[in-house]
Amino acid sequence: MALLFLILLPLFGVGESQPSNPLNQTDLQVAMDDMRTSFYYGFVILLKILNSAPNSLHEGQITFLMPNDEELSKVALKLDNLQDFILSHSIPSELLLSHLLHFPNGTLVPSSVPNKMLRITNSGRLGLFVNNARVVTPNVCLNSLITCHGISTSMTFDSADSYPIKSSFVHVKRRPALH
Ligand SMILES: *[C@@H]1O[C@H](CO)[C@@H](O)[C@H](O)[C@H]1NC(C)=O
Ligand SMILES: *[C@@H]1O[C@H](CO)[C@@H](O)[C@H](O)[C@H]1NC(C)=O
């Protein structure tokens, strides 16, 4: 049976009452330049649309997982679910390929969407998978604090891996037990 680890990465904004600041725009522009250099044009366009909406990308470490343009064109996307799509394709932590490779096989990491978890599977020669998607172009973003990797397809989520919503898991730690 695969060993299952749950890594609790710092989730930005969690449990904080003050509104979080937007993602550093300098870093974002540099990261988008890196993405363009590796032909992830569609993902850049989606990021620009999302970034134009206030309060949609928050400051803090982030790793984007980017399907290529052909894969993105297959996704049923609406403006309503753009934020969910982008955030579920990101991890609120700076994870280079070397970090991902050091996770125990089967590690679950939170995506930037509170109840969506990502499972890191090391399939040896077949490659490193995040959920159903293989990391095909690692470390695309290297010139800013934002990290990003190209993945083989858009992510699907196993409902068994979902986690109780953010607020409940934060409150368990912060509040004394109710009697
Ligand atoms: C954004 O990031 C750049 C480069 O990493 C840094 O020089 C700048 O101070 C940051 N801006 C803010 C508002 O944190
Ligand atoms: C990781 O787990 C998957 C299935 O859970 C298995 O197919 C794979 O061989 C494992 N990788 C290693 C390096 O043990």
DSSP string, 75-105: S---HHHHHHHHHHTEESS---HHHHHHSPT
Q: Which CATH number fits domain 23-164: 3.40.50.300, 2.30.180.10, 2.70.98.60, 3.40.50.2300?
A: 2.30.180.10
User: Is 11 a residue whose pLDDT tops 70?
Assistant: no
Scanning the structure block, which residue is given the tokens 């890594």? 7
In which band, very low, low, confident or very high, does the pLDDT at 47 lie, cut at 50, 70 and 90? very high
Find the 123 Cα to ligand 2 centroid distance in Å. Answer: 5
Residue 61 CA from chain centroid, whole number: 10
- In short, whether 124's Cβ falls inside 6 Å of ligand 2 is yes
Find the 90 Cα to ligand 1 centroid distance in Å. Answer: 20
Neighbours of 84 (CB within 10 A): 15
Which atom of ligand 1 is the closest one to the Cα of 144? Answer: 5
| Residue pair 24/64 in contact by the 8 Å Cβ criterion | no
User: Is 25 a residue whose pLDDT tops 80?
Assistant: yes
- In short, whether 2's Cβ falls inside 6 Å of ligand 2 is yes
94: closest CA among 46, 145, 44? 145
Structure confidence at residue 162 (pLDDT): 53
Ligand number nearest to the C-alpha of 146: 1
In which band, very low, low, confident or very high, does the pLDDT at 55 lie, cut at 50, 70 and 90? confident
Domain boundaries, the chain: 23-164
Scanning the structure block, which residue is given the tokens 């068994």? 160
65: closest CA among 21, 110, 105, 11? 110
Ligand number nearest to the C-alpha of 60: 1
- pLDDT, tens digit, 9 for 90 and up, residues 58-117: 999 999 999 999 999 999 999 999 999 999 999 999 999 999 999 999 999 999 998 899
Q: Order of strands, edge to edge, in the sheet holding 128-130?
A: 90-91, 63-67, 147-151, 133-137, 128-130, 117-122, 107-110
- In short, whether 56's Cβ falls inside 6 Å of ligand 2 is no
Query: How many residues appear in the chain?
Result: 179
Find the 131 Cα to ligand 2 centroid distance in Å. Answer: 13
Query: Residues 157, 160, 163, 168: is their CA dihedral positive or negative?
Result: positive
Which atom of ligand 1 is the closest one to the Cα of 24? Answer: 1
Where is pLDDT greater, at 3 or 99? 99
Q: For the stretch 113-125, what's the b/e string if a residue is b when 16 or more beta carbons lie within 10 angstroms of its beta carbon? A: bbbbbbbbbbeee
- The two three-digit tokens of residue 54, written as one number: 């206030």
